[in-house]
Structure 1
Amino acid sequence: AEYEKLKSQPVAEKLREQLAELEKKLSALDYNPQRIKDIESRLERFADAQRRKIELENALARHPQLRERRDSLRHALEKIEAEIPTIEEKIAQIAEELAHLPEIEAHIAEIEEKIARSESRLAELGDQKAELTAALRRYEDIVSRRKEIESQLAQHRRRERLLAITESILSREGIQDWLMRGYLEQIETYANDTLSLLSDGALSVRLVPESGEKLEVNISDPLGERSYESYSGGEEFRIDFSLRLAMSRVLAERSGFPLQTLVIDEGFGSQDEDGIGKLTDILYQVQDWFERIIVISHLPVIKESFPARLEVFRDSGGNSQVRVVA
């Protein structure tokens, strides 16, 4: 009912006219379904044309690199082709040398045999060298020991010469005699200074060196010159004291060191009262020459002559005691 209604309306009429016109145009187009299918088939074959286009464009972009690679390979090929004659010449030389290989191998075997003999000989020489080295070391040790012995012998000879010289110097005719002669005058002077005080100028000494170590002591008094042995004990003590004191002074002056101690042990017993007084006076006169003067005596007069002393006595039990008196 609706369709019929539309057909009766002007719009439907108009649509029918348009449809008729379209059908007319379609007929004028010469529509061929088979041809449409062919076109569709060709379109399907060229469906990936866009992808192939992109690949071609990429290939064209790589074309400079490929050309550079091609040129590089062509240059390498040319270089190799240029080296081929040289390589072939070397191959020919190697082939020629290989032709002489048996001769070379025989020569090598001969050389190896010589090397083996040389190594064997070298080992023998090494053993000989070791033996010679050991012998050389023993020889060097012997030479070194000989040098040491010669050095020791030379030292012993020098020592022997020095001992001979020393023996000569220390002999009776050596330095003792020389020193004695050199000091005698001074000893004699000092001794006479002291002896003159002890004897009121009556006695004097004269020292006369004899052969060897002997020394003659001559004493002069108002009666003339006599030997030392001809005087009394008291006079001998004064002479001895004067000579010993003189020798001490000379030794002190020669050495440069002052005398430390003078010890007189029991020498006053041979002196009379006057002699004891003169000896005591002399001790006071020479006290500056010594650090200390020690007089050992049992005589009371000597004890009273010195203010500082050590007195030795026996107590009631018979034991020795020491008392300091200052």
Structure 2
Amino acid sequence: ARTQAAEAASAARAAQHVADERRAGVPEALRTPAALQAGIAQAQDTRQRLERALQQAQSTHGEAASRAAALRAQHATLAEGVQAAQARVVEAHRQFVAALQTAGFWPDGTSKGDEGAADHAEAAWRAALLPAARIAMLESAVRDADDRRAAAHERAGRAAQAVAGLVRPDLAALDARATASRAQVEAVVDRIGQTRSELRTVTDTLARLEEIARESGAIEAEYRVVGHLADIANGNNCRNLTFQRYVLAALLDDVLRAASLRLSAMSRGRYQLQRREDVADARRAAGLDLEVFDEYTGRTRPASTLSGGEGFMASLSLALGLSDVVQAYAGGVQLDTLFIDEGFGSLDPESLDMAMKALIDLQQRGRTVGVISHVEEMKQQIDVTIEVVQGVRGSRVKVQA
């Protein structure tokens, strides 16, 4: 009875210690069941509201992205049209300059690339243009001249007899040149009209592009905040920490606190597990990396630097800490049985003794611990063992109590 009373007192003290630790981890305002339920309900409402806002923002962002893509495609098409129109304007200007030179409006002694000569030639050509009334008057004068020419031709026939043997000027060639010049001038006038029409089209297009650019700027300003929130939730921040990893990090902190109590006891107060806050590798997501605080050196180092035995103790501590946190989160659900498969062979005798004490402590708290191992020292410390014996006809099980 005294032995059982001592064991019960030890278990009570351990339970009280665990209860005090867990109570210290709960904020003062949430230690009553009513306050805790109210806090949980408020957190759930906030989470649902944020999830609805995120879904709406994602939907709006998708629509804006589709519209922006369509506007960019339209802008590219219009830009190609502007470039083509500009090329046609340049070509029309070159042809216009060539026509001015052919028509004789270009000043003598100047090059084709001279801008002043081009302006002078265009001014001379515009000065030579006639209004419709003047052209009708000239056409009437031409008809009169034709009539007079016919009469003159008749007279010229009579005069030809008088000038027989004299050299006759090439009037047909001169008339052909004049006709060709008039045709070229008319062609240039047509091209100028077409170019002006294309220029008006390009001007209208540029105005529409400016209006589209203003609308795009307004849309980008409207959804800039939503995009920033989406980048933060997706891990596009200075810590490479996504929203999911942020939530998991909170759970991992609880596991590490419980695991550090086990690891500190097994390592004689040397090691504690903690989560790494800074970014170790910018190429991958962060927030869930583990490191070890060494009480001997007063510094932290990566968990990968632990030796085989130390790594096993850390893994065992994490498993036991996770078991404690799961029980705490599950609201009274008990994990009564644990199975540990190998790993004890990498421990030195002192570390093996500390690990066995931790397992015995779990057993004394009411849990059943199963260990699968080939280490002889463990066999001697465990009262009840199940040994698998190989034989010619197969394996058999031998229970030793």
**Which has a greater percent of strand?**
1
- Report if TM-score (shorter chain) is over 0.5: no
Greater radius of gyration (CA): 1
Compare relative contact order (CA 8 Å, sep 6+) and give the higher one, 1 or 2: 2
TM-score by length of 1: 0.44
Q: TM-score, normalised by structure 2?
A: 0.37
